[in-house]
């Protein structure tokens, strides 16, 4: 086993303006002979050509191909173990959805005369754990190639894909953060979940997937109460299916007769289509659907409502605009005269685009109680063997696959905005049933059947068919109109040590900013100072202290004390510097640490026009 260690650089660093995971190897491991490149590259290229994988990141596939192309062009004599390991880790990262730059391994000179130098493999990263996983799987693959062992590439890729889903932000959060980045708005992930901060200090906003810090808790509660939502929508003239709450299977049948058959039975607080049964006409179907709604919806409150004909559509409202729409499809299987419906569904689920992860383009089709009710309406069971070419309907509310934003009738778009506003949501996903989304709803007996808080953006960001919509941009524009600021000035103070001259310079800077009427913060070893308040953060690293200051909603300007050693060992603790000052003696410390590498970190963090001349040796 090759001994290796890693070090995470979570800000601009000597390698890149992005976060980097460094992997350290002793020279004897770094220059070990690599397996033949053809044995390493060809199976991975064949896997890409096979299409036996799912990805919601098509740009990553081109990046993965590029890595293999460049690696295969490397002369075998130059293909050291370190070089091949880094490139296959790059390939793994691209396949996980994180394309990275081509960085070169380099020698890291030992600071202690008794220690030998090591080789460093730098891999740009989005999440440290995911980058470690990429290095680990790359090592497994190269070892297998070296031994000539078989290796389950497809299952290992699925393992990587699922791991990335668990570790990375989801597609909704990423769409918003990518849109923010395009506008120069900094973002920070605050938890291992989806809570993120956009902007800095007094200008900050927060999101949690597609919910914002302005999303009303009252609005969320109303949206989860389907009966209340329907009453509010009806009061403002938005078409809805009539219905009521029911208390038993018998009451469900009575309600079905009241509103008129066919009907829908669903949990009162239905979400993600759980526990919903559609177009029911028979008493036994309705009564079974009542039990299914309680079981799958995990609720004791069930609704029966009119069945609105048409296809399922999802309309996304952001602020006062409908910004995107997607259409679902009916889930069907086609008989071959030999296979049962259960077997046909199993074959359908072998499609690599289907999976349990929320980033899979298609979900796994399940023969649950709702599907069995749908089959019974066609005189079938899961054991039935449909004749050849017969299309069998399994589920009416399939995945949202097709963008239809440009088709939505203006009246329907206006009603969607009104529905979101009356519920009280700044971002809402509306489920609409309509046979023709380009026509008004009422004449075709279409209806808004649900209003959802925190809607998924996946179907709009990466539809299987049609054009992606700029939904992340719409949310960022709502949070930060063009006239808004989103950053605060960040100054750096480079010092060899946090000694008296450095402390005096920090206090002088603080007094200067306070005299200007600004709420100032300084990040120093062990603490954060906000105006005259000192917050003890001795157990935190510099990055954590800096993020604490940037997360303070009162801070208007920030100073961070930096040391050359920390810059090399951990990278810059923040993503940029607007101004940089030196404490006396810092230049000597920089020379001792490695002048060019320290300067490279700082240049990666500062706009060119803000860089002092001494950063360029003048």
pLDDT at 112: 46
pLDDT score for 1: 61
Omega of the bond leading into 262 within 30 degrees of 0 (cis): yes
36: closest CA among 72, 1, 86? 72
Q: For the chain, list the domains and their CATH numbers.
A: 5-168 (no CATH), 242-307 (3.30.1490.20), 331-395 (no CATH), 490-616 (3.40.50)
Cβ(156)–Cβ(137) under 8 Å?
yes
Longest dimension (CA), the chain: 88
Q: Which residues on neighbouring strands pair with residue 430, listed in sequence order?
A: 315, 451
- Predicted pLDDT of residue 167: 94
Cβ neighbours of residue 425 closer than 8 Å, sequence gap 6 or more: 215, 216, 219, 220, 223, 317, 451, 453
Here the tokens at position 166 are 């668990």
Angle between helices 128-147 and 81-95 (to 10 degrees): 120
Q: Is 108 left (phi over 0), alpha (psi -120 to 50) or beta?
A: beta
Alpha-carbon gap, residue 353 to 360, rounded angstroms: 6
Q: What is the DSSP letter of 103?
A: P
Average per-residue pLDDT for the chain: 91
pLDDT, tens digit, for every residue of 470-506?
A: 999 999 999 999 989 999 999 999 998 899 999 999 9
Name the DSSP letter for residue 102: -
Residue 287 binned pLDDT confidence (cut-offs 50, 70, 90): very high
How high is the pLDDT of residue 114?
A: 46
Provide mean pLDDT across the span 408-412.
98
Higher pLDDT, 319 or 401: 319
Q: Report the pLDDT value the prediction gives residue 51, as an integer from 0 to 100.
A: 77
Cα of 146 vs its chain's centroid, Å: 36
pLDDT digits (tens, 9 = 90+) for 19-50: 999 999 998 888 888 999 999 999 999 999 98
pLDDT at 405 over 50: yes
CB half-sphere exposure, 440, CA atoms < 13 A: 7
- 525-560 pLDDT per residue, tens: 999 999 999 999 999 999 999 999 999 999 999 999
Sequence-separated (6 or more) residues with CB below 8 Å from residue 186: 180, 198, 199, 200, 486, 487, 575, 576
Of 408 and 367, the structure prediction assigns the larger pLDDT to 408
**Range from 6-10, 372-376, 397-401, 418-422 carrying the lowest mean pLDDT:** 397-401
Q: What is the pLDDT of residues 242-257, one digit of tens each?
A: 999 999 999 999 999 9
CB 497: neighbour CB atoms within 10 A?
15
Tokens 């063997």 sit at which residue? Answer: 385
8 Å CB contact between 222 and 420: no
Of 228 and 268, more confident:
228
Give the model's pLDDT for residue 57: 63
The rounded distance, in Å, linking the Cα atoms of 239 and 197 is 37
pLDDT surpassing 80 at residue 616: no
Q: Contact, 574 vs 493, CB < 8 A? A: no
pLDDT, one tens digit per residue, over 503-519 is 999 999 999 999 999 99
User: How much of the chain exceeds pLDDT 90, in percent?
Assistant: 70
Find, among 381, 368, 225, 380, the residue nearest to 288 by Cα: 368
Contact present, 9 and 120 (Cβ < 8 Å): no
Radius of gyration over alpha carbons of the chain, in Å? 29
pTM value is: 0.87
pLDDT band at 589 (very low <50, low <70, confident <90, very high): low
pLDDT at 613 over 80: no
**Order of strands across the sheet with 302-306?**
243-246, 302-306, 263-267, 277-280
Residues with Cβ within 8 Å of residue 595, at least 6 apart in sequence: none
CA angle 509, 515, 520 (to 5 degrees): 55
pLDDT tens-digit map of 76-108 = 877 899 999 999 999 999 999 999 999 999 987
Q: Which residues of 176-210 are buried (b: 16+ CB within 10 A; e: fewer)?
A: bbebbeeeebbbbbeeeebbbbbbbbebbbbbbbb
Q: What are phi and psi of 216, to 5 degrees?
A: -75, 130
- Mean pLDDT, residues 147-155 taken together: 93
Tell me the C-alpha to C-alpha distance, in Å, between residue 510 and each of 491, 519, 562: 11, 9, 16
149 CB-near residues (< 8 Å, 6+ apart): none
Across 26-168, the runs of DSSP E, i.e. the strands, are: 106-108, 118-124
**How far is CA 521 from its chain centroid?**
31
Give the Cα separation of 601 and 160 in Å (integer). 31
DSSP letters spanning 150-208:
---HHHHHHHHHHHHHHHSPPHHHHHHHHHHHHTT--EEE-SSSSEEEES-GGG-EEEE
Residue 394 burial (10 A CB sphere; 0-12, 13-18, 19+): buried
Per-residue model confidence as pLDDT tens digits over 185-207:
999 999 999 999 999 999 999 99
Contact indicator for 564, 590 with CB cutoff of 8 Å? yes
Number of H helices, E strands in the chain: 21, 27
* Residue among 319, 320, 325 at smallest CA distance from 212: 319
């Amino acid at each position: 086993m090759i001994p290796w260690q890693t070090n995470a650089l979570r800000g601009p660093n000597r390698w890149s303006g992005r976060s980097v995971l460094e992997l350290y190897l002793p020279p004897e491991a770094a220059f070990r002979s690599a397996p033949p490149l053809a044995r390493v590259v060809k199976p991975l290229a064949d896997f890409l050509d096979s299409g036996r994988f799912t990805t919601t990141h098509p740009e990553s596939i081109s990046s993965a191909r590029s890595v293999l192309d460049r690696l295969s062009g490397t002369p075998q004599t130059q293909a050291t173990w370190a070089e091949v390991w880094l490139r296959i880790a790059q390939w793994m990262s691209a396949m996980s959805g994180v394309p990275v730059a081509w960085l070169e391994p380099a020698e890291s000179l030992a600071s202690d005369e008794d220690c030998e130098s090591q080789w460093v493999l730098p891999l740009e990263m989005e999440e440290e754990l995911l980058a470690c996983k990429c290095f680990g799987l790359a090592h497994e693959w190269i070892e297998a190639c070296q031994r000539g062992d078989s290796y389950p590439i497809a299952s290992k890729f699925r393992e990587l894909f699922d791991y990335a889903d668990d570790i990375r932000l989801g597609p909704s959060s990423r769409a918003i953060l990518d849109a923010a980045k395009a506008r120069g708005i900094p973002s920070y992930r605050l938890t291992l979940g989806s809570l993120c901060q956009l902007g800095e200090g007094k200008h900050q906003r927060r999101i949690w997937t597609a919910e914002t810090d302005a999303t009303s808790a009252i609005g969320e509660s109303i949206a989860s109460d389907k009966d209340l939502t329907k009453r509010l929508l009806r009061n403002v003239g938005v078409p809805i299916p009539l219905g009521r709450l029911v208390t038993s299977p018998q009451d469900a049948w009575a309600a079905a007769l009241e509103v008129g058959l066919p009907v829908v039975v669903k949990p009162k607080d239905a979400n993600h289509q759980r526990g919903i049964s559609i177009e029911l006409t028979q008493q036994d179907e309705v009564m079974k659907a009542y039990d299914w709604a309680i079981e799958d919806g995990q609720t004791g409150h069930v609704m029966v409502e009119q069945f609105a004909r048409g296809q399922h559509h999802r309309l996304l409202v952001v602020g006062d605009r409908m910004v995107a729409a997607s259409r679902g499809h009916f889930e069907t299987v086609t008989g071959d005269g030999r296979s049962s419906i259960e077997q046909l569904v199993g074959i359908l689920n072998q499609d690599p685009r289907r999976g349990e992860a929320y980033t899979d383009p298609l979900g796994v089709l399940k023969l649950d109680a709702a599907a069995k009710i749908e089959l019974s309406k066609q005189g079938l069971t899961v054991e039935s063997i449909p004749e050849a070419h017969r299309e069998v309907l399994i589920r009416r509310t399939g995945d949202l696959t097709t963008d239809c934003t440009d088709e939505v009738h203006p009246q329907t778009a206006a009603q969607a905005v009104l529905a979101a506003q009356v519920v009280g949501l700044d971002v809402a996903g509306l489920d609409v049933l309509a046979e023709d989304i380009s026509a008004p709803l009422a004449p075709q007996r279409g209806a808004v059947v649900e209003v959802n808080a925190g809607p998924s953006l996946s179907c709009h960001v990466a539809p299987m068919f049609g054009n992606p919509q700029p939904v992340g941009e719409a949310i960022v524009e709502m949070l930060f109109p063009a006239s808004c600021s989103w950053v605060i000035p960040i100054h750096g103070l480079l010092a060899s040590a946090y000694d008296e001259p450095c402390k005096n310079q920090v206090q002088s800077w603080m007094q200067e900013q306070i005299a200007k009427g600004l709420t100032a913060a300084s990040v120093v070893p062990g603490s954060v100072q906000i105006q005259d308040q000192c917050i003890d953060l001795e157990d935190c690293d510099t990055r954590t202290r800096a993020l604490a200051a940037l997360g303070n909603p009162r801070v208007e300007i920030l100073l961070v004390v930096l040391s050359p050693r920390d810059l090399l060992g951990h990278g810059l603790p923040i993503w940029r510097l607007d101004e940089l000052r030196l404490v006396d003696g810092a230049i000597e410390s920089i020379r001792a640490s490695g002048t060019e590498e320290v300067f490279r970190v700082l240049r990666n963090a500062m706009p060119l026009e803000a860089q002092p001349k001494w950063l360029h040796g003048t």
